[in-house]
Amino acid sequence: MGKKFVAKTGNETMAEAMRQINPDVVAAYPITPATEIVQIFAQFVADGVVNTEFVATESEHSAMSACIGAAAAGARVMTSTSSQGLALMWEMLYIAAGLRLPIVMPEVNRTLSSPINIHCDHSDTMGARDVGWIQIFSENVQEAYDNLIQAVVIAEEAKLPIMVTTDGFIISHGMESMEMIPDKEVTDFIGEYKPAYSVLDVDNPFTVGAIDFTDYYFEHKRAQIEAMSEAKKIIPQVQQRFGERFGRKYAAIEEYRLSDAEVAILVLGSTAGTAKVVIDELREKGHPVGMLKLRVFRPFPFEEIVRALSSVKVLAVLDRSDGVAGIGGPVFSEVRSAMYELDIRPRIVNYVYGLGGRNIDLALIQSVFTDLEKIAKTGKAEKMVSYLGVRE
Amino acid sequence: MATLKELAARAEEKGELLSGGHRACLGCGHPIVIRQALLAAKEPVIVGCVTGCLEVTTTIFPYTAWRVPFIHSAFENSAATVSGIEAAYRALKKQGKYDKELRFMAMGGDGGTYDIGFQSLSGAAERGHRMLYLCLDNEAYMNTGIQRSSATPKGAHTTTAPAGKVIPGKQQHRKDLTACMVAHRIPYVAQTIAGNWKDLTTKVEKALAADGPSFINVLSPCPTGWGYKPELTLEMGQLAVDTCFWPIYEVEDGKWKLNHQPTEKKPKKPLVEWLKSQRRFAHLFKATDSEELIAELQERVDQDWEELLAKCE
């Protein structure tokens, strides 16, 4: 039997994946462009096709708080948000991670106010890069779906919360051809959730969220940090199991025509798809160009990045957010830091692009490669950080 | 409702559900309220609590005073957190993965309830989660060092609304949170005090029996923040009732009922007795121009009392 493809938007796909995952509790609040995910899911609840208790909270802060309560009660828990919603959850994101609760969240990348803007960039999720959640970025609808199914297993094995991101509107509202896994096979792949503890265990009462002073806090944080390092082993195992079962292979990074590339770009999310077209065109003309797509941003796969980019001469990191720190985007800072491991390093520059949904097209990406080839030739970079596609 | 004998038997059987060894201040009203509330529950109880005095004094890792399952996540969200637990409980029960009959209590101080947690409390009440929210109202942010909240009465000295040379303490009257919760049309709402075990345990029993959200606002005297001798906590609670500063009443399915009324033999005490009993009001009696303010405070109590009487008719 041949593969069955369907046409779905990113949001429809994430909602369908949630239906298949069939979580015990979903607590959520609407926000553009993620609204449809819980909206579609609420219909599944209303139609009785899932067992989920849906808690339509009065804010994202309460949504994450309810997720924390439900997860501490041993339930399989999901939510979804974007942008300001993620920002309002901020305090609770740390607490979900600190309590080691495997909450799973499809997050739709949207910029942050001010100015208010509903379109895509990575300001929201990049701002939340140090809250202790695993973060996985998606290039397209298919990858987003596959990432979310894997995310359930990764979170529960790592005992850490996880967000799977899709680029706002570009993926969330873009319709693509994708292959859904049959319901039963999703159920089998994710298995039954067996929580390490539950506050419902009244015969063995214990305290969750106790206060640590100087004598214990550091040890608890150290254990959490170790869990994130351990996730580096868990993620590829889950990806491998997924690949063996469903035929689509994933890793923390994806190398695209990189092995013999002299100049390369590093991107996250949907931009990778656009970049692949540019790379193919340039390759046809004989340009030695390639790309590293970062799929897993937390835990940060620095070993893989260093290995994959070790023979590149010039690298551009494309950031879809700026740290407003005077030194470009956060991905740039981290990649540049990772590459310091090498004795002979590529020249690394940063392009901040696409803020507030500004389009990134083939010509813009091509202009980056033109710059990189010039740098490779002259050995000089005019700027360390450039802003792509903005009226200066 | 449980008699003292029944409660004593329950205590014997269950043991102390909030054990000794916690670090609450001498004379703190909170542990009294919690021990009695937990005893009033027949079914096993899960407790969620906001950041504040109760949480930091009872859960200092690696110790815990709680012998029931307890969760703290943040300051403004015990109602939301417990609503998640309650949803998980329903989900797991529905799927046949859990079979015990439980009750849920969310709690917080006045800061975590009147102020920063007001939204999450309102949301949880509107959604109809079956849980009791217990507000332990000591009328200021005591854990962080006696800062004003919207529960702090007008004229009280706090560290963020201090009595000074030109401003005599807090300038605003407190919020009537209990009435706000009545307005949510939930099945059971009540006010009580630390210091009347019968009233408190009866109300907790009724609240836990209600098939939906319930709310009890407990005035929990604070010797540290109010400035009175620690051994007088229970008397302070009673004085609040006797002056009608904190009437005890309940609203069952929308029906208001007073639980204590002044009589001819024991008439309503003047508010001055209440004000004079605590250091936080001491400046009112040192200044020469406080008479008007004291009269205004009395007037407010009288007005609230009359309105309450009318609702309870």
Summarize pLDDT for B221-248 with one digit per residue, the tens.
999 999 999 999 999 999 999 999 999 9
Number of Cβ atoms within 10 Å of the Cβ of A119: 20
Summarize pLDDT for A19-43 with one digit per residue, the tens.
999 999 999 999 999 999 999 999 9
Summarize pLDDT for A156-202 with one digit per residue, the tens.
999 999 999 999 999 999 999 999 999 999 999 999 999 999 999 99
Long-range contacts of A155-159 (CB under 8 A, 24+ apart): A155/A102, A155/A103, A155/A104, A156/A76, A156/A102, A156/A193, A157/A234, A157/A238, A158/A102, A158/A134, A158/A227, A158/A228, A158/A230, A158/A231, A158/A234, A158/A235, A159/A100, A159/A101, A159/A102, A159/A196, A159/A227
Instruction: Give pLDDT, residue A96.
Output: 98
Q: What is the mean pLDDT of residues B55-70?
A: 98
CB contact set of A260 (below 8 Å; sequence gap of 6+): A288, A290
- Euclidean distance between CA atoms A200 and B98, whole angstroms: 9
* pLDDT at residue A1 tops 80: no
B68 chain-A contacts, CB cut-off 8 A: 202, 205
- Euclidean distance between CA atoms A37 and A81, whole angstroms: 9
Summarize pLDDT for A132-159 with one digit per residue, the tens.
999 999 999 999 999 999 999 999 999 9
Instruction: Give pLDDT, residue B288.
Output: 80
Summarize pLDDT for A337-366 with one digit per residue, the tens.
999 999 999 999 999 999 999 999 999 999
In 3D space, the residue among A356, A368, A363, A275 whose CA is nearest the CA of residue A322 turns out to be: A356
Summarize pLDDT for A274-289 with one digit per residue, the tens.
999 999 999 999 999 9
Please indicate whether, in this complex, the C-beta atoms of B127 and A57 are within 8 angstroms of each other.
Answer: yes
How long a stretch of residues is chain A? 392
Backbone angles phi, psi at A87, to 5 degrees: -65, -40
- Euclidean distance between CA atoms B68 and B194, whole angstroms: 21
For residue A81, list its beta bridge partners: A107
B53 chain-A contacts, CB cut-off 8 A: none
Instruction: Give pLDDT, residue B273.
Output: 98
A202 chain-B contacts, CB cut-off 8 A: 44, 46, 68-69, 100, 102
For B164-228, what is the HEC assignment? CCCCECCCCCCCCHHHHHHCCCCCEEEEEECCCHHHHHHHHHHHHHCCCCEEEEEECCCHHHHHC
The answer to whether A57 and A66 are in contact (CB under 8 A) is yes
Pick from B55, B73, B102: CB nearest A65: B73
Q: What is the mean pLDDT of residues B185-214?
A: 97
Label the pairing between strands A289-294 and A263-267: parallel
Tell me which residue has tokens 């392009």.
Answer: A351
3-class DSSP assignment, residue A318? strand
Give the whole-number percent of chain B exceeding pLDDT 70. 100
* pLDDT at residue B138 tops 90: yes
In 3D space, the residue among A149, A167, A123 whose CA is nearest the CA of residue A272 turns out to be: A167
* pLDDT at residue B264 tops 70: yes
Label the pairing between strands A263-267 and A207-208: unpaired
* pLDDT at residue A231 tops 90: yes
A-interface mutation test, from B19, B81, B100, most A Cβ less than 10 A away:
B81
The answer to whether A135 and A67 are in contact (CB under 8 A) is no
- Euclidean distance between CA atoms A89 and B69, whole angstroms: 25
Please indicate whether, in this complex, the C-beta atoms of A202 and B102 are within 8 angstroms of each other.
Answer: yes
Nearest chain B residue to A217, by CA: B61
Structural domains counted in chain B:
1
The answer to whether A130 and A156 are in contact (CB under 8 A) is no
The answer to whether B91 and A25 are in contact (CB under 8 A) is yes
Instruction: Give pLDDT, residue A219.
Output: 98
Label the pairing between strands A385-388 and B45-49: unpaired
How far, in whole angstroms, is CA A146 from its chain's centroid? 12
Nearest-CA distance A104 → chain B (Å): 15
Residue A64 carries which side chain, given as an amino acid letter?
M
Tell me how far CA of residue B71 lies from CA of A197, A205, A317, B23, B233, in angstroms: 12, 11, 43, 18, 27
Query: Counting Cβ atoms within 10 Å, is residue A131 exposed (0-12), middle (13-18) or buried (19+)?
Result: buried
Instruction: Give pLDDT, residue A91.
Output: 98
Pick from A75, A207, A210: CB nearest B92: A75
Instruction: Give pLDDT, residue A4.
Output: 83
Q: What is the ipTM of this complex?
A: 0.97
Nearest-CA distance B113 → chain A (Å): 14
Confidence of residue A2 (pLDDT cuts 50, 70, 90): low
A377 CB-side CA count, 13 A: 8
Domain that holds residue B126: 4-312
Angle at A160 between CA A155 and CA A162, to 5 degrees: 60
Task: Enter the tokens of residue B73.
Answer: 């996540």
Nearest-CA distance A234 → chain B (Å): 27
Nearest-CA distance A57 → chain B (Å): 7
* pLDDT at residue B115 tops 90: yes
A206 chain-B contacts, CB cut-off 8 A: 64, 69-70
A256 CB-side CA count, 13 A: 25
In 3D space, the residue among B285, B273, B210, B191 whose CA is nearest the CA of residue B239 turns out to be: B273
Summarize pLDDT for A316-334 with one digit per residue, the tens.
999 999 999 999 999 999 9
- Euclidean distance between CA atoms B282 and B300, whole angstroms: 19
CB contact set of A139 (below 8 Å; sequence gap of 6+): A254, A269, A270, A272, A273, A293, A295
- Euclidean distance between CA atoms B104 and B38, whole angstroms: 11
CB contact set of B3 (below 8 Å; sequence gap of 6+): none
- Euclidean distance between CA atoms A337 and A41, whole angstroms: 41
A212 chain-B contacts, CB cut-off 8 A: 61
- Euclidean distance between CA atoms B54 and B46, whole angstroms: 15
Residues of A within an 8 Å Cβ radius of B:
24-25, 27, 51-53, 55-59, 61-63, 65-75, 77, 91-92, 95, 99, 199-202, 205-213, 216
- Euclidean distance between CA atoms A122 and A132, whole angstroms: 17
Summarize pLDDT for B8-43 with one digit per residue, the tens.
999 999 999 999 999 999 999 999 999 999 999 999
CATH code for the domain of B99: 3.40.50.970
Structural domains for chain A: 5-246 (3.40.50.970), 253-388 (3.40.50.920)
Task: Enter the tokens of residue B81.
Answer: 């957190």
Instruction: Give pLDDT, residue B289.
Output: 84
The answer to whether A354 and A120 are in contact (CB under 8 A) is yes
Summarize pLDDT for A83-119 with one digit per residue, the tens.
999 999 999 999 999 999 999 999 999 999 999 999 9
Residue B30 parent element (H or E): helix B29-40
DSSP secondary structure letter of residue A52: P
Instruction: Give pLDDT, residue A17.
Output: 98
A359 CB-side CA count, 13 A: 3
